[in-house]
Each structure stands twice: as structure tokens, then as C-alpha cells.
Chains A and B, each alone.
Chain A
Amino acid sequence: MDYIRAFIVGGTICLIGQILMDKTSFTPARILVSFVTAGVILGAIGIYDPIVEYGKAGATVPLPGFGYALAKGAIKDVKEMGIIGAFTGGIKATAAGIAAAIFFGYLMAIIFNPRAKS
């Protein structure tokens, strides 16, 4: 059941991205930026919570899930430690993803070479 829900929710989020790419002038970079920002906003106003509840990885693996984690982290830390939490919470909540992206990204770029374009 988890898998069916994750498939549908994750697929739908990607479908929205594809429609934006085909029907508007959205480049992949713009998709990434706007989906993360949309996730922050949806997370902040509480709309993304039920989507995560229902879709699990289908909601957390796509980039809005990254934005959602940023927003939740910021709110959580503000609750616990006041205004400085706005600056600590977001990165804290997404630290694993960001550090992994930088570390593995660097590592893979060093190890591998781009394939010759055929």
C-alpha cells in the first residue's frame, strides 16, 4: 500500500513539473528552484503535512519535500529557541541531504568522467 501511494503522489508531483516544462518556459533549473520554494510555503501553511502523511516517500523524495523539511525545521527551532531558530532550523533539518549532496557530488565528479557524446 505504501508503494502504491508513494508512486501516485510522487508521480503526480513530477507530472506537474512536466506540464510546467512543456507548457511554459520553465527550464529544469527553474523547476528545481520553484518546487523547493513551493515546498517551503506549503510546509509553512500546513498543506504539505497531509500529503506527507498520505504519500510518505512519494512526498518527501521530490524536491517540495526538501522545502517542506526546511520550513518544518525553521518552525521547530523557532519554537524551541526563539528567533535564532529561523536561521538554524532549516539547514539543521536538511543537513544530511545537503552535506551528502556536496560530499557525494564532489566525490563522483572526481571519480567519473563525462561520457563522450555520441
Chain B
Amino acid sequence: MEKKMEEKLKKDFEKIVHKKNPTSKFVKDCVMAFVVGGLICDIGQFFMNTFLSLGIPKEDVSYYNAAVMVFLGAFLTGLGVYDDIGKHAGAGSIVPITGFSNSIVSPAMEFKREGYVFGVGAKMFVIAGPVLVYGISSSVIVGIIYYFLK
């Protein structure tokens, strides 16, 4: 009898949670993604401005910026900080390029015990691989289309 009661209470509670949570959780997710994503881009903007003020040519600044942001993402993932940010930030930590390097370091670290070739070397690309495959392939298609249209 008591068990039934408990079961019922649990179900009711879940119903309430499901009713109340979606919208408020959704709004909170969105705010966090916006703020964290925006802040990460501001860090990128800071480096961009710094490199420009150091007299690095404008065309090269994006190379420096990409390398620095990727480094930061990888380093913070190694320290475990990036995953803490990701727990709250959702897409805000996934969409910036730091999330790309996070997607490389996380599985590589996790599968280290499987060795340095099939563990680290292969698992690095579990997510980054598809990104490169689709990104680079579509850029090749764009280049070919441009060649025939110009």
C-alpha cells in the first residue's frame, strides 16, 4: 500500500516537473548559450585586436586567432574546466571553435588506455572527423561550382 502511494507520488511529481520545467529550462538554456557563446567570441575579439595592434597583417590575424582559440579550448578541456562550462552553457560552449578542440581532446583523453594509435590517435577524430569530412568536401564542391560559373 505504502509502496503504491510512493509510486503515485513519484509519478505525480514527475508530471509536475515535466509540466513546469520545459519552458523555464529552455529559456535558461538559451540565455546561458547566448551569454557564454558571446563571451567566448569576446575573448576571440580580444586576441584579434591584440594581434592587430602587434602589427600582424590583417589576413594573417585569423590564422593566429584560430590557433590561439583552439589552444585555449584544448588546454581548458585538459584541465577539466571546459566540461564544467559546457554543463551549463550547452551550445554556447559547443558552437565556438573552442568546442571543436574540446571535441578532439575529450574522447582522445578518455580512450588513452586503448593505446596511442587506436586510442588517442583514432578517437581524436570521432567528432572532428565528420566535421572535417563535411566541411572540406562541401568547400571542394563550392570551388568546383565556382570554377564553372565564373
Contacts and interface: CB of A to CB of B under 8 A. Distances in A.
Interface string A70-111: 110111011100110111011100111111111011111111
B109 A66 contact: no
A60 B71 contact: no
Most chain A CB atoms below 10 A, which of B70, B90, B112, B135: B135
B120 A36 contact: no
A32 B94 contact: yes
Q: Do most interface residues of chain B lie in helix, strand or loop, or is the interface mixed?
A: helix
B97 A61 contact: yes
Given A58-B45, A78-B143, A98-B132, A112 B95 contact: no
A21 B136 CA distance: 24
Contact of A15 (B30, B41, B108, B109): B30
A112 B67 CA distance: 20
B64 interface: yes
Interface stretch (B2-10, B11-19, B74-82): B74-82
Interface of B: 26, 29-30, 32-42, 44-49, 62-67, 69-71, 74-75, 77-80, 90-92, 94-101, 103-106, 108-110, 112, 116, 120-121, 124, 127-128, 130-132, 134-136, 138-147, 150
A113 B130 CA distance: 25
B93 to A, nearest CB: 8
Nearest to A31: B94
B74 A104 contact: yes
A26 B80 CA distance: 24
B38 A104 contact: no
14 contacts: A6-B42, A17-B90, A18-B34, A32-B103, A32-B131, A35-B95, A41-B138, A66-B100, A70-B138, A97-B67, A101-B104, A104-B70, A104-B71, A108-B78
Given A15-B37, A67-B135, A97 B74 contact: no
Given A36-B134, A62-B97, 18 more contacts: A7-B39, A14-B94, A15-B91, A28-B103, A32-B130, A33-B135, A62-B95, A66-B100, A67-B139, A71-B139, A73-B139, A75-B142, A78-B143, A79-B150, A85-B143, A86-B141, A96-B67, A104-B75
Contacts of A57: 41-42, 44-45, 47-48, 65
A14 to B, nearest CB: 3
Interface string A1-26: 01100111111111111111111000
